Amino acid sequence: MRTAEIRRRFLDFFAERGHTVVPSAPLPTPDPTLLFVNAGMVPFKPYLTGEAPAPWPRATSVQKCVRTLDIEEVGRTTRHGSFFQMSGNFSFGDYFKEEAVTLAWELSTTAAGDGGYGLDPDRIWVTVHHSDDETRALWRRVAGLPDERIVARGDEDNFWSMGVPGPCGPCSELYYDRGPALGRAGGPAVDEDRYMEFWNLVFMQYERG
């Protein structure tokens, strides 16, 4: 599946589920704490912080981003880049953890012929913040994931922020096991080359001052 098709399927999936498709914002941002947009949520920051009313209850976008935080890894792995497009779905007080988990699982595992990405559910692992028992329980109930494929991690790996003042919170990441030829068994805490991250659900329930 080519990049353009991945992008189209993402936007179509969320548009069909009540999300307004919002075009990518320009890379230079009016946010005084940033030079360039570094995450898909940046254009929505005023709505997430309550500085302005959101024009829609749900939105989806594929946002152009520049990020240099891990620039030393660019070119050394297949999973780091300085310029990329970030697909995202956003709720402004409309839904939270349960529907976010449900939607991510549905798009990831629905057959390609039915509009999904067709990923094998038996090869998907997830991580959760070590304090987030609610999301752990949701992955068990919604996706039927066994405990051994739900990995608890700390703030460094599973608490997301912009790197500057703004919305932040615990996150739950989805990983795909690409097979033993690419690394060691044991999940994303053991080998993040074999277990490739492909989605990050950020629950922006806090604001960093």
> What does pLDDT average to over the chain?
92
pLDDT of residue 162: 76
Predicted confidence band of residue 166 (pLDDT cuts 50, 70, 90): confident
Whole-prediction pTM: 0.91
- In terms of Cα–Cα distance, which of 154, 156, 146, 101 is closest to 129? 154
pLDDT of residue 208: 83
pLDDT of residue 164: 74
Asked if the model's pLDDT at residue 108 lies above 90, the reply is yes
pLDDT per position as a tens digit, 137-160: 999 999 999 999 999 999 999 999
**8 A C-beta contact, residue 61 and residue 40:** yes
Domains detected in the chain: 1-95 (3.30.930.10), 119-209 (3.30.930.10)
pLDDT of residue 74: 63
At a CB cut-off of 8 Å and minimum separation 6, what does 123 contact? Answer: 176, 177
pLDDT per position as a tens digit, 8-24: 999 999 999 999 999 99
- Virtual torsion, Cα 24, 29, 31, 32, nearest 10 deg: 170
Task: Return the axis-axis angle of helices 133-143 and 97-109, rounded to nearest 10°.
Answer: 40
Compute the average pLDDT of residues 185-206: 94
**8 A C-beta contact, residue 184 and residue 195:** no
pLDDT of residue 71: 64
Q: Is the dihedral of CA 206, 82, 100, 130 positive or negative?
A: negative
Cα distance between residue 116 and residue 108, in whole Å: 6
Predicted confidence band of residue 163 (pLDDT cuts 50, 70, 90): confident
